[in-house]
Every structure is written in structure tokens, then in C-alpha cells.
Amino acid sequence: MPLKKPHSGLQNGDAGHEKDSRHFGNGSQQQNLDLNDHEGEHDLPGVLEVNNDSPVVNGIGTSLTNGGLNLHSTVKRKLDGEKDYVFDKRLRYSVRQNESNCRFRDIVVRKEDGFTHILLSSQTSDNNALTPEIMKEVRRALCNASADDSKLLLLSAVGSVFCSGLDYSYLIGRLSNDRRKESTRIAEAIRDFVKAFIQFKKPIVVAINGPALGLGASILPLCDIVWASEKAWFQTPYATIRLTPAGCSSYTFPQILGVALANEMLFCGRKLTAQEACSRGLVSQVFWPTTFSQEVMLRVKEMASCSAVVLEESKCLVRSFLKSGLEDVNEKECQMLKQLWSSSKGLDSLFSYLQDKIYEV
């Protein structure tokens, strides 16, 4: 059952502004931006479930990677009546030109009918690993989505991996350079990234197409609905790689999975299959890989037909009792990581572990 193609637009060129960008330019950049928008994806599932073996999906995958954006210039954008809905001009054109010129490089943002779709599609790291720069892009996209007229957020990934967590080669590189400064910078990037999820007021749906590791798994309980492909699996081997938990997992994992399983994940790197994660409460439902993206889209569109007020207020009710607690946990976790990274002992331990891994490979 193919999904109806929505009138959508890649938001790759927008953003670049934080909440204070309330002044708008004259639209002179519009054409430019439009050239960079690509809407030729015939097959929405591919967006979620990029499979490099399939030529069709591969094409979409390419279109979604920012480097390949111009390949689809033959595909014309349909300028119909819903255009204003799809493109929020107020957000698109900020007077702060230097910021608005800044594109999303490692994520793709699509404005769909009633919801925003953020896809992890990292160009600067492998397997959608997170760097402070990528986390900042996600934050900016969340910030935009919180201010626009979308009713909810869909988060997914391009490629076969959802998110492999912190980028450890980046981590090692930076921390070896300037331990004191970089430990603070990276810990704060994590803190702000996680905080953006805690504070996001619209429902967040996550579609997990493949492995979700470390921070990529830890943030799932900060999202509202988690749908996973049968191919997905989950692992947070913090202690194994000589780190303390992040992403509020020290609080949310015991809450959801029970202390016994949560600690096995945090201390021993216990890996959960999609089915296990579902039966233990981390995942809402598991779908068959081949129809995964259709199932997700169908449900997200159904949700997006709800009243915006009801969605936001329901989330507010569900989250209000957790929010301040989660913010505290996040602060503590990041404080702990900073301490660990700025101590030579903590760093040595991390380095020796990660270097062993590199030699093993």
C-alpha cells in the first residue's frame, strides 16, 4: 500500500536561527533556496528505510544526503495551494543572513503536512554518530519545529543505522588536544542536546530503523512514541567504554525497564533486540522492516490529524511530573562526564579502552 505523496519540502536551507529570529528578510533568497529543495522522492518509505541495495531507495538516499542535493534538479516542485503551509516563510528568511545561510549538513528536515520530519543523515561522522556540531543542528531543527505550525515531530534516520551515539574518534581527538576546554564544550553540547528533547512540547515520534547505541538509545525515553523496525537493536554500553550514563538514561532506563535490566544495559552493555525492547517498554511497537516506514507514516499522519491543543496538552500532562526531574538528571550526568573527561585518570581509562578496540578492529 503505497503512501500518498505529501506536499513537502526539505528544510535543509532554512533554520540557522535560534528563537530570537523574529525579523524576516525580503525573500530574495527564495529562488536560491528552492533550487536546493528536492521533492522528487516518489516513495516516502525510502526516507525512513534507506537501503543501499535497492536502486529506488538508493536514489532517495542520495537525494537526502546533502552532498547529492543537486542531482534531483529535474524534479519540479509543485507550487500548489498548500505551499504556504509546507514552507513557513517567517522561519525561512531571517535578517540574520550569516545564520540563515548556514545549512543543515548532517540532518535533513522535511516539513510535512502537520508534522516536521527530522532525519539523521550525518555527512561528517560514520553511522550517524553524534558530534557537538551535529547535536547543535538537531537542536536548531527542534527549535524551529517548536515554533512553527507543525503538530508533532517525527525523528528518523537515513541509512541502516539509527544513531551510533557519541562519535568516539571525535571525542578522543578533541580530548587529547585540550582536555580541559574540550571536556566542558562536549559535555555542554550533550547537555543542551538532551535538554532540547526534554523541553520540546509537541509529541515526538521516533522511528528506529536500525541499531540505536549510547546516546542514540538513551534519548528514546525522552521521546513520546518509539516505533522500531524488526532490524533495530539497542545498546548503552557506558561502563564498558568507561563512561557514565548520559541522556537521562540513569533515570529513565530504571524507570522503564526496572533497575535489574537497566543496570545490565548500563553496566554490562546488554544488547536488546527490538522485540525485547518492546516487551520491556522502551519501544511502543515493532514493525516488519519492509513495511516499517509505511506503518510509521500512516500512524504519524493519523496523529497529525488530531487537534494541536489536545496533542500538546496531553504531552504536557504526561511529562509535567518528569520534566524538572529530568533536567536535574541531565545536569548531573553531564557534570559527571565532564569530571571524567577532565581527569587524567578517567581519560586514560577511556583512551586505553578505545585504543584497544581500534587495535582489535
> In what helix (H) or strand (E) does residue 94 lie, and over which residues does it extend?
none
Query: Alpha-carbon distance 244 to 250, whole Å?
Result: 9
Nearer to a second copy, 90 or 315 (CB): 315
Residues across the chain: 361
Query: Alpha-carbon distance 93 to 28, whole Å?
Result: 9
Nearer to a second copy, 33 or 157 (CB): 157
Q: Closest separation between CB of residue 182 and a second copy, Å?
A: 19
Nearer to a second copy, 189 or 282 (CB): 282
Order of strands, sheet of 212-213, starting from the edge strand that comes earlier in the sequence = 212-213, 233-235, 272-273
Query: Alpha-carbon distance 160 to 48, whole Å?
Result: 9
Q: Closest separation between CB of residue 256 and a second copy, Å?
A: 4
Nearer to a second copy, 309 or 361 (CB): 309
User: Which residue stretches of the chain are H helix?
Assistant: 30-35, 45-48, 55-64, 83-86, 89-92, 97-100, 132-147, 168-177, 179-199, 215-218, 249-257, 259-268, 274-279, 292-304, 308-342, 344-360
Residues 6+ apart with CB under 8 A from 229: 49, 207, 208, 209, 210, 274, 286, 287, 288, 289, 292
Nearer to a second copy, 211 or 221 (CB): 221
Q: What is the CA radius of gyration of the chain?
A: 20
Nearer to a second copy, 79 or 316 (CB): 316
Q: Closest separation between CB of residue 251 and a second copy, Å?
A: 6
Query: Alpha-carbon distance 99 to 331, whole Å?
Result: 28
Query: Alpha-carbon distance 154 to 263, whole Å?
Result: 29
Listing DSSP states for 63-85 in one string gives HHSGGGGGGGTTSPP---TTHHH
Nearer to a second copy, 96 or 271 (CB): 271
Q: Closest separation between CB of residue 261 and a second copy, Å?
A: 5
Q: Closest separation between CB of residue 306 and a second copy, Å?
A: 5
Nearer to a second copy, 57 or 228 (CB): 228
- Under the rule (CB under 8 A), what is the footprint of a second copy? 203, 220-221, 223-226, 238-240, 242-245, 250-252, 254-264, 266-268, 270, 279-285, 299, 302-303, 306-307, 309-311, 313-315, 317-318, 320-322, 325, 329, 332-333, 336, 340, 345-346, 349
Nearer to a second copy, 122 or 249 (CB): 249
Q: Closest separation between CB of residue 271 and a second copy, Å?
A: 11
Q: Closest separation between CB of residue 156 and a second copy, Å?
A: 15
Helix (H, G, I), strand (E, B) or coil at 102: coil
Helix (H, G, I), strand (E, B) or coil at 43: coil
Q: Which residues pair with 111 in a beta bridge?
A: 9, 116
Nearer to a second copy, 184 or 314 (CB): 314
Q: Are 137 and 155 in contact (CB under 8 A)?
A: no
Q: Closest separation between CB of residue 330 and a second copy, Å?
A: 11
268: Cα within 13 Å, side-chain hemisphere: 8
Query: Alpha-carbon distance 248 to 239, whole Å?
Result: 15
